[in-house]
Chains A and B, each alone.
Chain A
Amino acid sequence: MTDTTISLKHLVKKFGNQTVLKDIDLDVYTGEIVGLIGPSGAGKSTVIKTALGMEVADGGVAKVFGETMPNRQLLANIGYMAQTDALYEDLSGKENMQFFAAMKGLSKKDTAEEIKHVANVVDLTDDLNKRVSGYSGGMMRRLSLAIALIGQPKLLILDEPTVGIDPALRRQVWKELQHIRDEDRSILITTHVMDEAELTDKVALLLDGKVMAFDKPDVLKMQYEVDSIENVFLKAEGVL
Chain B
Amino acid sequence: MRIISIMNRVLKELFRDKRTLALMFLAPVLILILLSFIFNSNSTTDVDIATVSMPSSLNSNLEQTKHVSVTKYDTKKAAKKALKDDKVDAIIQKKNNDYDLTYANTDSTKTVAVKMAFKNAMTDTTISTLKSKLTLASSALTKVQSQMPNASANNNIQSKKADSKPRITNHYVYGDSNTGFFDKILPILIGFFVFFFVFLISGMALLKERTSGTLDRLLATPVKRHEIVFGYMASYGILAVIQTIIIVMVTVWLLGIQVVGNIFYVILINLVLALVALSFGILVSTFANSEFQMMQFIPILVIPQIFFSGIIPLDSMASWVKDISYIIPIKYSGDAATRVIMQGQGLSSLGSDIGVLLIFLVVLTFLNIVGLKRYRKV
Contact A80 B220 (CB under 8 A): yes
Bound Cα distance A86, B12 (Å): 17
Q: Which of B204-242 contact A (CB under 8 A)?
A: 212-214, 216-224
User: With A54-B377, A56-B377, A102-B1 known to touch, is A75 a contact of B13 (CB < 8 Å)?
Assistant: no
Contact A76 B221 (CB under 8 A): yes
Query: Could you list 11 examples of A-B contacts with CB < 8 Å?
Result: A53-B377, A70-B376, A72-B222, A84-B213, A86-B216, A87-B214, A88-B13, A90-B12, A103-B222, A103-B223, A104-B221
> Could you say which of A55, A76, A88, A105 has the most chain B C-beta atoms within 10 Å of its C-beta?
A88
Bound Cα distance A75, B378 (Å): 11
Residues of A within 8 A of B1 (CB): 102
User: With A84-B212, A90-B13 known to touch, is A54 a contact of B221 (CB < 8 Å)?
Assistant: no
Residues of B within 8 A of A76 (CB): 221-222
Contact B2 A54 (CB under 8 A): no
Q: Which of B265-292 contact A (CB under 8 A)?
A: none
The count of residues in chain A whose C-beta lies closer than 8 Å to any C-beta of chain B is: 32
Counting CB contacts under 8 A, is A82 at the interface?
yes
Q: Taking A72-B376, A73-B222, A105-B2 as given, write out 11 further A-B residue pairs in contact, using a Cβ cutoff of 8 Å, ordered by the A residue number.
A: A71-B378, A75-B220, A75-B221, A82-B216, A83-B213, A84-B213, A85-B213, A86-B214, A88-B9, A88-B13, A88-B214
Bound Cα distance A105, B378 (Å): 18
Q: Which of A86-141 contact B (CB under 8 A)?
A: 86-88, 90-91, 95, 99-100, 102-105, 131
Residues of B within 8 A of A147 (CB): 217
> Nearest 7 A-B pairs (CB), nearest first?
A86-B213, A84-B213, A70-B378, A80-B220, A102-B5, A103-B221, A86-B217
Counting CB contacts under 8 A, is B163 at the interface?
no
Name A84's closest neighbour in chain B (CB-CB): B213
Name A81's closest neighbour in chain B (CB-CB): B217
Q: Which of B55-99 contact A (CB under 8 A)?
A: none
Contact A103 B5 (CB under 8 A): yes
Bound Cα distance A99, B5 (Å): 7
Counting CB contacts under 8 A, is A78 at the interface?
yes
Counting CB contacts under 8 A, is A189 at the interface?
no
User: Which residue of A54, A84, A91, A99 contacts B219 across the interface (Cβ within 8 Å)?
Assistant: A54
Contact A91 B13 (CB under 8 A): yes
Counting CB contacts under 8 A, is A52 at the interface?
yes
Bound Cα distance A76, B221 (Å): 6
Residues of B within 8 A of A131 (CB): 16
Counting CB contacts under 8 A, is B174 at the interface?
no
Contact B222 A104 (CB under 8 A): yes
Residues of A within 8 A of B39 (CB): none
Bound Cα distance A104, B2 (Å): 9
Bound Cα distance A81, B309 (Å): 46
Bound Cα distance A95, B203 (Å): 23
Name A71's closest neighbour in chain B (CB-CB): B378
Bound Cα distance A78, B376 (Å): 15
Contact B222 A54 (CB under 8 A): no
Counting CB contacts under 8 A, is B375 at the interface?
yes
Residues of A within 8 A of B377 (CB): 53-56, 70
Counting CB contacts under 8 A, is B315 at the interface?
no
Residues of A within 8 A of B223 (CB): 103
Contact B216 A54 (CB under 8 A): yes
Residues of A within 8 A of B214 (CB): 86-88
Bound Cα distance A131, B13 (Å): 11
Bound Cα distance A186, B217 (Å): 19
Contact B220 A78 (CB under 8 A): yes
User: Which residue of A70, A87, A90, A100 contacts B221 across the interface (Cβ within 8 Å)?
Assistant: A100
User: With A90-B17, A91-B9, A103-B2 known to touch, is A54 a contact of B212 (CB < 8 Å)?
Assistant: no
> Could you say which of B212, B222, B223, B224 has the most chain A C-beta atoms within 10 Å of its C-beta?
B222
Contact A72 B378 (CB under 8 A): yes
Contact B222 A86 (CB under 8 A): no
